[in-house]
Amino acid sequence: MSSLFLKNLTAAAVRPSIAKKQALNRVILPSLASRFLTTAATQAACHDDEPSFLQSVEKYYDAAAQISEVKPHTLAHLRAVDSVLRVTFPIEKENGEYEVIEGYRAQHSRHRLPVKGGIRFSEEVDLQEVEALASLMTYKCAVVDVPFGGAKGGIKIDPKKYTPDQLERITRRYTMELCQKKFIGPGIDVPAPDVGTGPREMAWIMDTYSQFNVGEVNAAGCVTGKPLSLGGVRGRNEATGLGVYYGIREFISYPEVQQKTGVSGDMSKNTVVVQGFGNVGYFAAKFFEENGAKIVGIGERDCSIYDPNGLNVEELHKYYRANGTFKGYSSTAQILENSSQILETECDILIPAALERQIGLRNVNNVKAKIIGEGANGPVTPAAHDILEKSGKVVVPDLLLNAGGVTVSYFEWLKNLSHVRFGRMNKKWDERARAKVVALVEKNAGRPLTEAERKAIVHGAEEADLVYSGLEDTMIQACQETRQTAELKKVDFRSAAYINAIQKIAAVYEGSGMLFMH
Ligand code: GLU
């Protein structure tokens, strides 16, 4: 590990200074033209005068704040982003040219430490987006009772345009900046995967952090979403998608949701469309399918696929990974060249699990789904949200529905700080105790249990069992709290989730006297 680190330390730390001295005339600045193009692409679903993502989060916050009964000065403090970090650094390309990379980290609220939130690699990243996402993380953590403040980071690159070696140098250099500015640490700020990043990037972050903090016994807790071999937790990879499934399963069991939307409480009677086949979309589709729903459509960047007879998620995923497109997968399924058309197809449940601002004034009236479950952060604009709710649909909001990721990140962090795998201390003990109960039951019943019956009773909880049940319980609890507030305040689920978050955070602010320094 140390020689690997040295190689990268050289790449990350030494080259930039050489770059500054020798090659300023070869530095390529991020292209303005491509910035405008990508911004225009994400806004396709929205009217130009619809609010930005940050404005949308603030709008939702303000509406909920008004009815939250929290004191105005607390509300004002909570709304503002605490600190932001903007860094630029050059990296050397194989052809000898240098490119200046832009990165951000925003910490929205430090009412609880560490602050927590992913790091995304995307050309859309800018300060506003990162601030909006950091705010959402604060509210998200509060909704699911994860005792962290909110943060978010981003590097403005399209990861597909870089080699793994370049990505490693970019990630390590960005982490160095976070270390130097004290924007990372198990008790300070703990990043995680987000759009365009995964366990590989988290491993690089952890390694770089550890090398800068030799001897820190809790170093593994500086980042979550790590590979298992480096202190990750079982279940983190699928957590957001699984949480989306648990959340929707809970909401469709509520009679008021069934009445308003006409969706059945029986999952096997529902059709589902998922936009985005990345980590969140793939696992959400997989869990819906495994639990009886029919997946009729999946959307991706270049095109979407729709089949009213149902798609096989695992097969389609294999095909997509091998070919990078749905084209040519099947002769019966329909390919939608205009990828965002998938949002307008016939289905009961629509899961936008790609990027923000996908359903806006331009396309909201074409949405046919009865329930819209926000797997992504901010996929529905405020105006579109109101239209959906008024037309008899239900929106299950991001800060609740996609909180499974940060919930299991919290479990991973706990595992890192306790330095022991969940279940390690008690599994065998539980199994022995249960075996004794089985022996008694068998004696009384006068027959031995079948092997399957015995296994079901005796099996002691392993890490994955505990993570899954912890996640399920967290999601159900958060959905029920949201439902109760919606009922009490006569508001939709988004406002209810915001109100709950605001009240929980306000209680910490006001209880700790941390609002003002006298
Ligand atoms: N990036 C994920 C989110 O937006 C996960 C954050 C985390 O695990 O800290 O919720």
Residue 106 CB partners (closer than 8 Å, separation 6+)? 81, 83, 84, 85, 127, 130, 131, 133, 134, 151, 152, 153
Tens of pLDDT, residue by residue over 184-227, are 999 999 999 999 999 999 999 999 999 999 999 999 999 999 99
Pick the atom of ligand 1 nearest to 118's CA: 1
Pick the atom of ligand 1 nearest to 116's CA: 9
pLDDT for res 516? 53
Range with the poorest average pLDDT among 64-73, 256-265, 389-398, 442-451: 442-451
Does position 24 have pLDDT exceeding 50, yes or no?
Answer: no
Which residue, 202, 28, 190, 38, is CA-closest to 122? 38
| 144/481 Cα distance (integer angstroms) | 10
Pick the atom of ligand 1 nearest to 193's CA: 1
Tokens found for residue 156: 């403005």
Q: Which CATH class is domain 3-45+84-230?
A: alpha beta
Residue among 116, 152, 226, 294 flagged as catalytic: 152
Q: Where are the domains of the chain?
A: 3-45+84-230, 239-399, 404-517
User: Can you name the CATH fold of 404-517?
Assistant: Rossmann fold (3.40.50)
Q: How far is the CA of 399 from the centre of ligand 1 (A)?
A: 10
Q: How far is the CA of 220 from the centre of ligand 1 (A)?
A: 17
Q: How many CA atoms, within 13 angstroms, populate the side-chain half-sphere of residue 279?
A: 19
pLDDT for res 261? 98
Q: Whose CA is nearest to atom 9 of ligand 1?
A: 117
pLDDT for res 33? 31
Which residue, 165, 87, 81, 89, is CA-closest to 117? 81
Instruction: Please answer whether residues 143 and 136 qualify as being in contact, where contact means their C-beta atoms are separated by less than 8 angstroms.
Output: no
| 60/54 Cα distance (integer angstroms) | 10
| 489/454 Cα distance (integer angstroms) | 48
Tokens found for residue 393: 């649909």
Tens of pLDDT, residue by residue over 31-58, are 333 332 233 334 456 666 899 988 999 9
Q: Three-state SS for 491?
A: coil
pLDDT for res 16? 35
pLDDT for res 203? 98
Q: How far is the CA of 375 from the centre of ligand 1 (A)?
A: 12
Check for a shared fold between 3-45+84-230 and 404-517.
yes
Residue 11 is classified by DSSP as: I
Inter-CA distances, 74 with 9, 108, 179, 513, 515, Å: 43, 14, 31, 11, 7
Give 3-state DSSP helix, strand, coil % of the chain, rounded to 5: 55, 15, 35
Range with the poorest average pLDDT among 25-34, 80-89, 236-245, 339-348: 25-34
Q: Three-state SS for 380?
A: strand
Q: Whose CA is nearest to atom 8 of ligand 1?
A: 406
Give the ranges where 252-397 is alpha helix by DSSP (H): 255-261, 279-290, 313-323, 382-390
Q: How far is the CA of 71 from the centre of ligand 1 (A)?
A: 29
Task: Classify the C-alpha dihedral 277-282-288-289 as positive or negative.
Answer: positive
User: Can you name the CATH fold of 239-399?
Assistant: Rossmann fold (3.40.50)
Residue 27 CB partners (closer than 8 Å, separation 6+)? 19, 90, 97, 98, 99, 100
Side chain identity, residue 308 = P
| DSSP secondary structure of 85-140 | EEEEEEEE-TTS-EEEEEEEEEEEE-SSSSEEEEEEE-TT--HHHHHHHHHHHHHH
- β-sheet bridge partners, residue 304: 299, 336
Range with the poorest average pLDDT among 162-176, 373-387, 502-516: 502-516
Tokens found for residue 133: 């996402």
Q: CA angle 106-223-107, nearest 5°?
A: 15
Q: Are β-strands 371-373 and 349-352 bridged in parallel, bridged antiparallel, or unpaired?
A: parallel
| DSSP secondary structure of 240-283 | HHHHHHHHHHHHTTSHHHHHHH---SSGGG-EEEEE--SHHHHH
pTM as predicted: 0.89
Q: Whose CA is nearest to atom 7 of ligand 1?
A: 406
Residue 235 CB partners (closer than 8 Å, separation 6+)? 242, 408, 411, 463, 464, 467, 468, 471
SS (H, E, C) 43-86: HHHCCCCCCCHHHHHHHHHHHHHHCCCCCHHHHHHHHCCCEEEE
- β-sheet bridge partners, residue 273: 297, 350
Does position 30 have pLDDT exceeding 60, yes or no?
Answer: no
Q: Are β-strands 371-373 and 189-193 bridged in parallel, bridged antiparallel, or unpaired?
A: unpaired
Confidence tier at 491 by pLDDT (50, 70, 90): very high
Tokens found for residue 346: 């016939």
Active site residue 152: yes
Q: Which helix (DSSP H) or strand (DSSP E) does residue 21 occupy?
A: helix 15-22
Q: How far is the CA of 119 from the centre of ligand 1 (A)?
A: 8
Looking at the chain, the number of H-run helices and the number of E-run strands are: 19, 13
Question: In this predicted model, which residue has the larger pLDDT, 370 or 96?
Answer: 370
When the pLDDT of each residue in the chain is averaged and rounded to a whole number, the result is 90
| DSSP secondary structure of 31-46 | PHHHHHHHHHHHGGGS
Residue labelled with tokens 């593994």:
220
Query: Which residues lie with the beta carbon below 6 Å from any ligand 1 atom?
Result: 116-118, 140, 192, 194, 224, 377, 402, 405-406, 409
Does position 324 have pLDDT exceeding 80, yes or no?
Answer: yes
Tens of pLDDT, residue by residue over 123-172, are 999 999 999 999 999 999 999 999 999 999 999 999 999 999 999 999 99
Residue 308 is classified by DSSP as: T
